[in-house]
Amino acid sequence: MTIQDPNPAAPPELTAAKRALLEARLWGLHRAPTVPRRDPAAPVPLTFDQERLWLLDRLGQGETAYNIFTGRRLRGPLDVAALERALGEVVRRHDVLRTTFREVGDAPVQVIAPFAGFALPLEDLSALDAEARAAALHRRVAAAAGHRFDLAAGPLFLAALVRLAPDDHALLVCVHHVVAEVLQTVFRGEDEIAPQSSGRYRNQFRQVAGR
Between 5 and 162, whose confidence is greater? 162
Record the pTM. 0.69
pLDDT at residue 13 above 60? yes
Percent of the chain at pLDDT exceeding 90: 41
Between 175 and 28, whose confidence is greater? 175
Q: What are phi and psi of 17, to 5 degrees?
A: -65, -45
The string over 121-154, giving b where at least 16 C-beta atoms fall within 10 Å of a residue's C-beta and e elsewhere, is eeeebeeeeeeebbeebbebbbebbebebebeeb
Q: What are phi and psi of 161, to 5 degrees?
A: -120, 135
How far is residue 111's CA from residue 118's CA, in Å, rounded to a whole number?
A: 18
pLDDT classification of 161: cutoffs 50, 70, 90: very high
pLDDT at residue 172 above 60? yes
For Cα atoms 49, 63, 43, give the angle at the middle one, nearest 5 degrees. 45
pLDDT classification of 5: cutoffs 50, 70, 90: low
Helix (H) or strand (E) holding 201: helix 199-202
What confidence score (pLDDT) does residue 80 get?
Answer: 96
Domains and their CATH numbers in the chain: 66-202 (3.30.559.10)
Rounded average pLDDT over 21-29: 64
Question: Within 36-79, where are the H helices?
Answer: 48-58
Between 19 and 99, whose confidence is greater? 99
How far is residue 193's CA from residue 107's CA, in Å, rounded to a whole number?
A: 38
How far is residue 131's CA from residue 188's CA, in Å, rounded to a whole number?
A: 28
pLDDT classification of 50: cutoffs 50, 70, 90: confident
